[in-house]
Structure 1
Amino acid sequence: MSKGKTPDKPVVALIAGPTASGKSDLAVRLALALREAGKDAVVINADSAQVYADLAIVSARPTDAEMRGVPHRLFGVWSGEEGCSAAKWAAQARREIAEAHAAGIVPILVGGTGLYIRTLLDGISPMPEIDPAVREAVRALPVDQAYAALQAEDAPRAAMLAPADSQRIARALEVVRSTGRPLASWQQQRIGGIGDAIELVPLVLLPDREALYARCDARFAAMLESGALEEVAALLARHIDPAMPVMRAIGVPDITAYLRGECPLDEAIARGQQATRNYAKRQLTWLRHQLPQEWPRTAPENVELRSQFEILFSK
């Protein structure tokens, strides 16, 4: 759509960027600029760590002061015991967006979790129900036998997997045996995406890598000073399953190692900073190559709100 043209569909803004890129602050600034122009806006979280009530500090969730009176949704709404998947988040995000549009409010999505963003826009594959008897039989097979069976029943999928990847082998085998269709045929379908029903106004933030890494390091150190150790200790006291996403969030395993006496604090800090930098690097790669190339990309310091989001300010 040309700049300044009034959209024919409900508008959704999207600010996507890596961790520590300032995207949340930019979303608030956009909402405040829209308020000055006579339009209300709401910021909707699209970060897989910031959805958890248990990770206010470790996930760098915006504080009340940082929200500056702008309504925020889907921040800190899931319990760590429950867990949040891309499908669960997308369903909630669709409802929040629909409610905002019904009230004449501009939704501003902000985050760096690519799977969440693509699931919301493109939809998700309708995964089939698996016959419990089939699942039990498949899961009882030694991995070498399961892999041989998958080679016979779904050769293309078997060729994509390592022979020792027991979890993915079992999943593919139970799907083809339970439904008569290979996993790929289910994955080719997409349901629930809103991309065609909205006018998306995206902006992708691509900071200088070295400056971003420095901000990652500084932010992790600041988290520890702000109570990250106590936050993770509270998580551990609840005996949440270590496989749950909240226990695998960036920084949590490293702080856990320190709290359990497995490493000194300086080593935990170094590990956590490295993990944060690695995550930011993966996000940058995804943002550069996996999002549509026509989406605008810029460094955070070069954003001019009314120019980048001109369509939002049109009457």
Structure 2
Amino acid sequence: MSTPVPSSRPRLALIAGPTASGKSARAIELAERENGTIINADASQVYRDLRILTARPSVQDEARVPHRLYGYRDGAGACSAADWAADARAAIDAVVAEGRLPILVGGTGLYIRTLLDGIAPVPMVDPAVRDAVRALPAGAAHDALVREDPASAAALHPNDAARAQRALEVVRSTGRSIRSWRADRSGGIRNIFSIECIVVDPPRRLLYERCDARVAQMIDDGAVEEVEVLRMRGLSEDLPVMKAIGVLPIIDYISGARELDSTISIIRQATRNYAKRQTTWFRHQMSA
């Protein structure tokens, strides 16, 4: 789907969809047709450590059209949505200045929403409050949120512990709902650019087949060796790069704790689950 293109605002194309959906191919076709530059909007593909496992564009694809924000950060540091949004805005401005069409491509909804709608000005949370919330037993944060911030609790699945903890620590530390803070977002680009949005949404069966094939191709292309190099760096498992789909199962395989067939099955299922969550998010969030 696309929106009309007012002549008073520069164009920005957004091609969004789940992993293995074919959105990268669509982006390259558009870039070749309309003198475009592809800008990454995938949280895992920002790290240079994992070209294979995160299915970053190939060297051949990068030679066809310009690509930005792929593999540009070291996995030893975390890249937040705010960090990426600032980098993306700078990249978009540079592409426009070159007379080219910026084409955002990705599957990380939080990144895309932060760029489009801006940052919520939530103050720093009191460390003591944060520690107390994070120490609560499983499910207790959501139960407390039902009492202290029912609107936020209603918007979350009871098993979404991370978001429930975040909402609870914000309301306890600031006395204000996280939903209220988010209503005051600032710095977004939604009203600056004329955004033409394409949501790539293949049938579920085809998507899952592509997910399975992608995992097999990653293993053939050297994903195990890539993860071994990452493992040798001794990075904390709390870093985003270490939480990329497939990293920990492959480390278990390298250490002898898991067979290769089992490892592939686990990665395939995790990839399918992630693709399903992405599909749901884009269907609901990008329809407007």
**TM band (smaller chain):** 0.7 to 0.9
How far off its partner does 1:216 sit?
1.3
Are the counterparts in 2 of residues 53 and 79 from structure 1 also a CA contact under 8 Å?
yes
Aligned partners of 2:218 and 2:16: how far apart in 1?
22
Are the counterparts in 2 of residues 41 and 105 from structure 1 also a CA contact under 8 Å?
yes
Letter in 2 for 1:83: A
Give the 3 Å change call, closer, same or farther, for CA 4–61 of structure 1 in structure 2.
same
Are the counterparts in 2 of residues 57 and 228 from structure 1 also a CA contact under 8 Å?
yes
Are 1:76 and 2:71 an aligned pair?
Answer: yes
Give the 3 Å change call, closer, same or farther, for CA 164–89 of structure 1 in structure 2.
closer
Are the counterparts in 1 of residues 5 and 11 from structure 2 also a CA contact under 8 Å?
no
Alignment of 1:1-315 (within 5 A): 7-34=7-34, 40-132=35-127, 138=132, 171-172=166-167, 174-293=169-288
Letter in 2 for 1:18: P
Is 173-182 or 198-207 further displaced after alignment? Answer: 173-182
Are the counterparts in 1 of residues 49 and 230 from structure 2 also a CA contact under 8 Å?
yes
Give the 3 Å change call, closer, same or farther, for CA 106–259 of structure 1 in structure 2.
same
Give the number of the structure whose alpha-carbon radius of gyration is greater.
1
Give the 3 Å change call, closer, same or farther, for CA 96–233 of structure 1 in structure 2.
same
SS at match of 1:197: coil
How far off its partner does 1:231 sit?
0.8
Are the counterparts in 2 of residues 25 and 66 from structure 1 also a CA contact under 8 Å?
no
How far off its partner does 1:168 sit?
5.8
How far off its partner does 1:156 sit?
5.6
How far off its partner does 1:3 sit?
8.1
In the other structure, the counterpart of 1:305 is none
Aligned partners of 2:281 and 2:92: how far apart in 1?
24
User: What is the TM-score normalised by the length of structure 1?
Assistant: 0.79
Aligned partners of 1:263 and 1:9: how far apart in 2?
54
Letter in 2 for 1:11: R
Letter in 2 for 1:19: T
Aligned partners of 1:169 and 1:19: how far apart in 2?
26
Are the counterparts in 1 of residues 133 and 168 from structure 2 also a CA contact under 8 Å?
no
Aligned length: 287
Is 173-182 or 7-16 further displaced after alignment? Answer: 173-182
SS at match of 2:86: helix
SS at match of 1:283: helix
Are the counterparts in 2 of residues 28 and 68 from structure 1 also a CA contact under 8 Å?
no
SS at match of 1:107: strand
Aligned partners of 2:13 and 2:136: how far apart in 1?
49
Is 140-149 or 219-228 further displaced after alignment? Answer: 140-149
What's the % identity of the aligned pairs?
52
SS at match of 2:267: helix
Gaps spanning 5+ residues in structure 1: where? 35-39, 294-315
Give the 3 Å change call, closer, same or farther, for CA 266–121 of structure 1 in structure 2.
same
Letter in 1 for 2:257: E
SS at match of 1:15: strand
Letter in 2 for 1:28: I
How far off its partner does 1:247 sit?
1.2
Are the counterparts in 1 of residues 40 and 105 from structure 2 also a CA contact under 8 Å?
yes
Aligned partners of 1:6 and 1:140: how far apart in 2?
47
Are the counterparts in 1 of residues 201 and 279 from structure 2 also a CA contact under 8 Å?
yes
Gaps spanning 5+ residues in structure 2: where? none
Q: Deviations over 1:81-137 (max 9, x none)?
A: 21112111111111111122222221011111111111111123112023456556x
User: What is the TM-score normalised by the length of structure 2?
Assistant: 0.86
Is 209-218 or 192-201 further displaced after alignment? Answer: 209-218
